[in-house]
């Protein structure tokens, strides 16, 4: 990443606001502008640097030594500003602090450990799909499928109690807004911040969790000495922060993609084993997590352009995932392409630790839907919900033709 150039170039400057409401709802035009402006662009409004080309986003995510996370994965620099909550031990920590929490959670969320969830989640998926279809051929797929499935599948697996689960999505929405600037979205979350944080923190205690869930496994790691007693609740908190809104909007991205690409739906119907490719391609195409920040640990040059030490760098995952230099016909949702290598789950040491959980959720839901639905289409405009980090939704009105 860092070449010893004698005269590093100063980056072009943009006064665009990537967190403005209209940009959050339709980010592609800004993504194109930033990719074309140069390998690095300075965003004068926030005094940060931005990377939007695949090559450089990918390389910077792998180079955690120069692009650190411990100063915060949002706009706020934890060296100068008190974080709004104790930083995540996974997302907002660098090695060596990051290592033990990552090792523990990676094992709990690894594919072999998830294997025993498959049959149960297939049953949940079939029940939800059957129930939706029994009520008619038109419904809003956002609440009925995209929200319903993760909220029925994952809380029990974590070991959450029955009360207050309706707080999970609002809490996540708030967490992902908090990575951005203190704009109207953050102001709107403020009235519920204390209440939602208190509920989530209470669920992270050993006593609040069932004895057989992922939460209990995290506490067991602390009992073995693989984590400290202080770390355990923060690792549970990561599951509650990053484990719900992400999968809800990832599944919504899939449903939106398939409802607007009937040929791809037919392909999936004929070959249900494409469900995983469909999810991966939807993650590339929509990038439910649009951006994260890193912080330069030293002066670094990216393709000859200087980024000064200690400045924040905004990584445009969504722009990288549609970079024409990396992806042929990037704006096309296409089940015949190989979407692997996308940065929708990040890359490197912070790459999504829950990705196998997300894939299993999407696979089981899409497979159940593909078995029962011959055709699906939108009946009206899908509605997005602005969030400083997430490409999120509130409504996906659909009509389906059930399979004979
Ligand atoms: C965490 C966390 C929160 C939000 C997102 C995320 C996508 C992680 O608390 O660890 O990763």
Q: Residue 6: its pLDDT value, please?
A: 60
Residue 60 · residue 347 · CB < 8 Å:
no
Distance 63 CA to ligand 1 centre (A): 19
Q: Which burial class, exposed, middle or buried, applies to 385 when counting CB atoms under 10 A from its CB (0-12, 13-18, 19+)? A: middle
Does 157 contact ligand 1 (Cβ within 6 A)?
no
The answer to whether the Cα torsion of 261, 267, 271, 277 is positive or negative is negative
| Alpha-helical regions (H) of 63-183 | 99-108, 111-114, 118-134, 141, 148-158, 168-177
pLDDT tier, 7 (very low <50, low <70, confident <90, very high otherwise): confident
Distance 73 CA to ligand 1 centre (A): 9
* Domain segments of the chain as ranges: 3-402
Distance 266 CA to ligand 1 centre (A): 35
pLDDT digits 0-9 by tens, 195-245 = 999 999 999 999 999 999 999 999 999 999 999 999 999 999 999 999 999
In total, the chain counts a number of residues equal to: 404
Q: Could you tell me which CATH number the domain at 3-402 has?
A: 1.10.630.10
Percent of the chain with pLDDT over 70: 99
| Residue nearest atom 11 of ligand 1, based on CA coordinates | 242
Hey, which bits of 240-330 come out as E strands?
Answer: 291-296, 300-302, 305-307, 312-316
Distance 50 CA to ligand 1 centre (A): 21
**Higher local confidence (pLDDT), 150 or 2:** 150
pLDDT digits 0-9 by tens, 77-115 = 999 999 999 999 999 999 999 999 999 999 999 999 999
**What are the backbone angles phi and psi of residue 80, rounded to the nearest 5°?**
-115, -25
| Residue nearest atom 6 of ligand 1, based on CA coordinates | 242
Residue 401 has pLDDT above 70, yes or no: yes
Distance 224 CA to ligand 1 centre (A): 25
DSSP-assigned beta bridge partners for residue 305: 9, 302
Percent of the chain with pLDDT over 90: 98
CA pair distance 321, 333, nearest whole angstrom:
12
Mutate to test the pocket of ligand 1, among 83, 238, 289, 347 (most ligand atoms within 8 A of CB): 238
pLDDT digits 0-9 by tens, 26-59 = 999 999 999 999 999 999 999 999 999 999 999 9
pTM of the predicted model as reported, rounded to 2 decimal places: 0.97
Q: Which burial class, exposed, middle or buried, applies to 399 when counting CB atoms under 10 A from its CB (0-12, 13-18, 19+)? A: middle
Closest by alpha carbon to 317, among 66, 90, 67, 54?
A: 54
Angle, CA of 206, 105 and 208, to the nearest 5° = 15
Q: Which atom of ligand 1 is nearest to the CA of 172?
A: 4
pLDDT tier, 8 (very low <50, low <70, confident <90, very high otherwise): confident
Distance 242 CA to ligand 1 centre (A): 5
pLDDT digits 0-9 by tens, 173-205 = 999 999 999 999 999 999 999 999 999 999 999
Q: Which atom of ligand 1 is nearest to the CA of 237?
A: 9
Q: Residue 47: its pLDDT value, please?
A: 98
Does 88 contact ligand 1 (Cβ within 6 A)?
yes
| Residue nearest atom 7 of ligand 1, based on CA coordinates | 242
Does 241 contact ligand 1 (Cβ within 6 A)?
yes
Closest by alpha carbon to 154, among 108, 117, 103?
A: 117
Does 238 contact ligand 1 (Cβ within 6 A)?
yes
Residue 147 · residue 169 · CB < 8 Å:
yes
């Amino acid at each position: 990443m860092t070449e010893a150039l004698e005269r590093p170039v100063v980056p072009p400057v943009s006064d665009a606001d990537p967190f403005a409401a209209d940009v959050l709802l339709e980010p592609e035009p800004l993504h194109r502008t930033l990719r074309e402006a140069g390998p690095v662009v300075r965003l004068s409004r926030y005094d940060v640097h931005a990377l939007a080309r695949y090559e450089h986003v990918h390389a910077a995510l792998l180079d955690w030594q120069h692009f650190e996370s411990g100063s915060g994965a949002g706009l706020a620099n934890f060296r100068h500003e008190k974080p709004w909550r104790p930083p995540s031990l996974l997302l907002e920590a660098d090695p060596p602090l990051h290592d033990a929490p990552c090792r523990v959670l990676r094992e709990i969320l690894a594919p072999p450990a998830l294997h025993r969830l498959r049959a149960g989640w297939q049953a949940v998926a079939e029940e939800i799909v059957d129930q939706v279809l029994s009520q008619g051929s038109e419904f809003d797929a956002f609440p009925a499928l995209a929200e319903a499935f993760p909220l029925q599948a994952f809380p029990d697996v974590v070991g959450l109690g029955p009360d207050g689960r309706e707080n999970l999505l609002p809490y996540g929405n708030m967490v992902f807004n908090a990575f951005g600037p203190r704009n109207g979205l953050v102001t709107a979350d403020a009235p519920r911040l204390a209440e939602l944080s208190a509920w989530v923190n209470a669920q992270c205690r050993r006593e609040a969790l069932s004895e057989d869930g992922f939460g209990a496994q995290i506490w067991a790691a602390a009992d073995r000495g693989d984590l400290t007693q202080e770390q355990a609740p923060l690792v549970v908190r990561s599951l509650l922060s990053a484990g719900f809104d992400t999968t809800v909007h990832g599944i919504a991205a899939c449903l939106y993609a398939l409802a607007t690409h009937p040929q791809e739906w037919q392909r999936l119907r004929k070959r249900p084993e494409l469900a995983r490719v469909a999810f991966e391609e939807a993650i590339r195409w929509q990038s439910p997590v649009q951006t994260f920040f890193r912080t330069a640990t030293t002066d670094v040059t990216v393709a000859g352009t200087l980024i000064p030490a200690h400045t924040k760098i905004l990584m445009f995952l969504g722009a990288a995932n549609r970079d024409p230099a990396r992806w042929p016909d990037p704006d096309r949702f296409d089940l015949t392409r190989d979407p692997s290598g996308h940065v929708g789950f990040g890359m490197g040491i912070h790459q999504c630790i829950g990705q196998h959980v997300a894939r299993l959720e999407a696979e089981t839901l899409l497979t159940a839907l593909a078995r029962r639905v011959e055709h699906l289409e939108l009946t009206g405009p899908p509605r997005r919900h602005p969030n400083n980090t997430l490409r999120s939704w509130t409504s996906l009105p659909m009509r389906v033709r059930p399979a004979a």
